[in-house]
Amino acid sequence: MELADIDLLDRDTFVKRMPHDWFAYLRKNAPIYRHPEPDGPGFWVFSRHRDVVALNRNWENYSSDDRKGGVVELESSPERVAAAAALNGEGRMMLTMDPPEHTRYRKLVNRGFTPRVIRSLEDHLREASVRIIENALDKNGGQVDFVVDVAAELPLMAIAEFLGVDDLASGRDQGRDIVGNGPVKFEPPYLRRANTHS
């Protein structure tokens, strides 16, 4: 294997398999690697855990703040940039914040994720898990895409529960769009309510 064999932009490879061999090669031979990008400047790949931890802790130099160029979406387009801006409006996601702003929001959110709160949801989420799996098995003659049909559903359901979303069906596509970097199609009612109260 050579560096030229590694194409982290090849989505088809990730659909077929997780290329652990690529990451093992990178960790051993090029732990900090500037990956080429067609029609773009390329991007840095940090493949060793200790380097990722060091970057994460050095937010002053390696910012996540979108106003400083932080989180960059590969294969972006003007339409996707406009959709993201419309979604965020005046607000911002925690993913695109640095301390101390990120720390303030994380402290607020963490209150909802204490062991006591999580335990109180366990029975409900266990029942929801069974429903999600049964629904997945009922679709497509028992053929299940685990990531789409199961793994993506439970976190969305749990988040909706935390946020007090009334109509999970209307918020489901919105959540998938945000998590999967898909196009934003609509603003669900719970977001409209939240925006009118802020």
Answer with the residue of higher pLDDT: 138 or 66.
138
Tell me the pLDDT tens digit for each residue of 51-91: 999 998 998 988 888 777 676 665 566 776 666 666 555 56
pLDDT given for residue 181 in this prediction: 43
Residues 1, 21 contacting (CB under 8 angstroms) = yes
State mean pLDDT over 159-168: 69
Q: Is 129 exposed, middle or buried (0-12, 13-18, 19+ CB in 10 A)?
A: middle
The pLDDT, as a whole number, for residue 50 is 96
- Give the model's confidence band at 198: pLDDT under 50 very low, under 70 low, under 90 confident, else very high: very low
Query: Does the reported pTM lie above 0.75?
Result: no
Please state the separation of Cα 37 from the chain's center in Å: 21
Buried b (16+ CB within 10 A) or exposed e, 89-109: eeeeeeebbbeeebeeeeeee
| Residue 17: both structure tokens together | 């398999």
Tens of pLDDT along 13-29?
988 889 999 999 999 99
Query: Could you tell me which residue, 90 or 93, shows the higher pLDDT?
Result: 93
Check whether 196 has a pLDDT greater than 50.
no
